[in-house]
């Protein structure tokens, strides 16, 4: 009986003999190039996107000289007036300041009104802080002074004159009581107030 020689069959590959997958250089280069392209695109879109600071807002300009660069009115350039227009209301004084020059200038928006030799000045009504008021060439600013406000106290004072200045840096113009239409007894004073300068008398 012939013996059949053993046949040599190829053995099945095992995990240890299987080839290991490796990265292909071409695929790596392609991925890197794609990432670079995406990054550049994002950067371009970011640059093109408008921002609040990229487009400045244009502020309309005025034909007049800005107040911040307009000089203060010299006292010699102003005409100051004061009067009591209604004898029935001797505690109400109308005042005005006119720019006689051909150039604009500024004054304080609160008139400075003092009474005789008394300390202090009329308080602004409504209350406010100092600020600039623009006077065009030839224009006039108006204000109303109330020499007595509230219920007068028995200690209310009477003065023979008032002094009006368009700006606290000015010496002011003196007006005698009789010259502005006050009663012969003088101008009564009790917690006086003044309006701000305004462009019209009323």
Where along the chain do its domains lie?
68-194
Within 10 angstroms of residue 80's Cβ, the number of other Cβ atoms is 19
pLDDT in tens, 62-110: 334 455 699 999 999 999 999 999 999 999 999 999 999 999 999 999 9
Cβ contact 186:158 at 8 Å: yes
CA-closest candidate to residue 139, choices 95, 165, 105, 164? 105
pLDDT in tens, 137-151: 999 999 999 999 987
The CATH class that applies to domain 68-194 reads: mainly beta
| The residue to which tokens 């006292």 are assigned | 75
Cβ contact 106:71 at 8 Å: yes
Q: What is the pTM of this model?
A: 0.66
State how far the Cα of 54 lies from the Cα of 49, in Å rounded to an integer: 9
State how far the Cα of 19 lies from the Cα of 16, in Å rounded to an integer: 8
């Amino acid at each position: 009986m012939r013996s059949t020689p053993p046949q040599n069959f190829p053995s099945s590959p095992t995990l240890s003999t299987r080839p290991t997958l490796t990265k292909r250089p071409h695929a790596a280069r392609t991925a890197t190039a794609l990432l670079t392209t995406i990054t550049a695109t994002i950067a371009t879109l970011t640059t093109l996107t408008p921002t609040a600071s990229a487009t400045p807002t244009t502020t309309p300009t005025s034909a007049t000289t800005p107040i911040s660069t307009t000089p203060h009115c010299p006292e010699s350039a102003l005409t100051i007036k004061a009067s009591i227009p209604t004898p029935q209301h001797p505690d109400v004084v109308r005042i005005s300041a006119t720019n006689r020059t051909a150039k604009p200038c500024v004054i304080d928006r609160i008139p400075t009104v003092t009474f005789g030799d008394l300390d202090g000045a009329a308080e602004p009504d409504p209350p406010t802080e100092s600020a600039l008021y623009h006077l065009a060439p030839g224009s006039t600013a108006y204000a109303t002074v109330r020499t007595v406000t509230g219920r007068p106290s028995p200690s209310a004072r009477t003065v023979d004159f008032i002094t009006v200045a368009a700006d606290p840096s000015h010496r002011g113009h003196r007006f005698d009581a009789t010259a502005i239409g006050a009663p012969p007894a003088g101008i009564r004073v009790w917690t006086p107030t003044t309006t701000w300068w305004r462009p019209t008398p009323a």
